[in-house]
A and B are shown apart, each in its own frame.
Chain A
């Protein structure tokens, strides 16, 4: 550490002391060697300390507390959030049958009005199924190589994570206070 850095470090340590008397700044300035190369910086360090000690607390506007309470009141209620979470969970389970229903309905309509289009779509899904079949073969090979328990383990892990996250959300919501 250089001589200048030593001096600055020592000054900084002294300035950190709580309840330093106002005269301390003057005393400290006199301690800086006159021929020191870092005299300007050391003096500035002391002056900065003085300015910081004199700086007042910034006061907020008078209506701040009312604004805070208003903002809190605007938060959705705890019951409302619980309801929203339950709705999302339920709707995520309802998505699969809804999508299936829409697909079946569309197929029935298309068979009646555009049989050629339905043929193309069926071909597309057959190709897709074929690809899935290939993927499943690959998956089976991987399972054989790795472990027969891999698939059940992954299923269990994903279900556990999903359940844990749901419980965390529900617990957090139930712990938040309701202002009366």
Chain B
């Protein structure tokens, strides 16, 4: 398990927040709101949902602050709360995930696409990344997000997700492979078309 003790200032804020100091808790919010919000946004794919999940995450953190292990990195702890919350919310949405293993992938690479305005293309790619992320099962999204947006090591991802390191490696590989397969799909399959005949419950 990855153990990174918080720095002295952070430790001071946590102790203050535990004792009920509003300013210290506000500093913790200020320090971690972007990280928590980004995770929620990448998981849920909608700004309003992400803001609500961020608020709920901090509320839960506040309610369970006495359970926080001071030897653990605060970021890992709060991201664990956020990821569990987002996974629960996604499960409640009862979305059916694409089973990409059954879809024959498109035989050309996106690098052959005509190149429009560079900025527009980059925006489109970002949008696509989020669209593709939205189609991954929640358990696969978390390790990918933690690796790419937070530079977490295998050990840190395992700590955050309460998984073994081989399980993390496996999920990362499968998630990336599924995203690659999605990228190769024609647009009508990659877009979330619920009436598509290829849409199945994820195995």
Interface residues of A (CB under 8 A from B): 8-9, 12-13, 15-16, 18, 40-45, 47-49, 51-61, 64-65, 67-69, 71-72, 75, 175-180
Contact = CB atoms under 8 A, between A and B. Distances in A.
Interface residues of B, number: 58
Contacts of B191: none
A9 B177 CA distance: 9
Nearest to B19: A177
Contacts of B172: 12, 16
A103 B126 CA distance: 69
B176 A45 contact: yes
A55 B129 contact: yes
B139 interface: no
A60 to B, nearest CB: 4
A55 B37 contact: no
Contacts of B38: 57-59
B20 A67 contact: no
B82 interface: no
Interface in B19-55: 19-22, 25-26, 29-30, 33-35, 37-38, 41-42, 47, 50-51, 54-55
A179 B149 contact: no
Interface stretch (B61-69, B87-95, B192-200): B61-69
Given A45-B177, A47-B110, A49-B176, A179 B126 contact: no
30 contacts: A8-B173, A9-B173, A15-B176, A16-B172, A18-B151, A18-B153, A40-B107, A41-B177, A44-B180, A44-B183, A45-B176, A45-B177, A48-B176, A49-B176, A52-B144, A56-B126, A58-B38, A58-B41, A58-B50, A59-B37, A65-B26, A67-B55, A68-B33, A69-B22, A69-B29, A71-B55, A176-B65, A177-B20, A177-B66, A179-B20
A90 to B, nearest CB: 25
Interface in B116-158: 122, 125-126, 128-129, 132, 144, 147-149, 151, 153-154
Contacts of B26: 65, 69
Nearest to B37: A60
A176 B176 contact: no
Contacts of B132: 48
B148 to A, nearest CB: 4
Contacts of A54: 122, 125-126
Query: Which 6 pairs, one residue from A and one from B, show the smallest C-beta to C-beta distance?
Result: A44-B180, A60-B37, A58-B41, A12-B173, A45-B180, A52-B148
B59 interface: yes
B11 interface: no
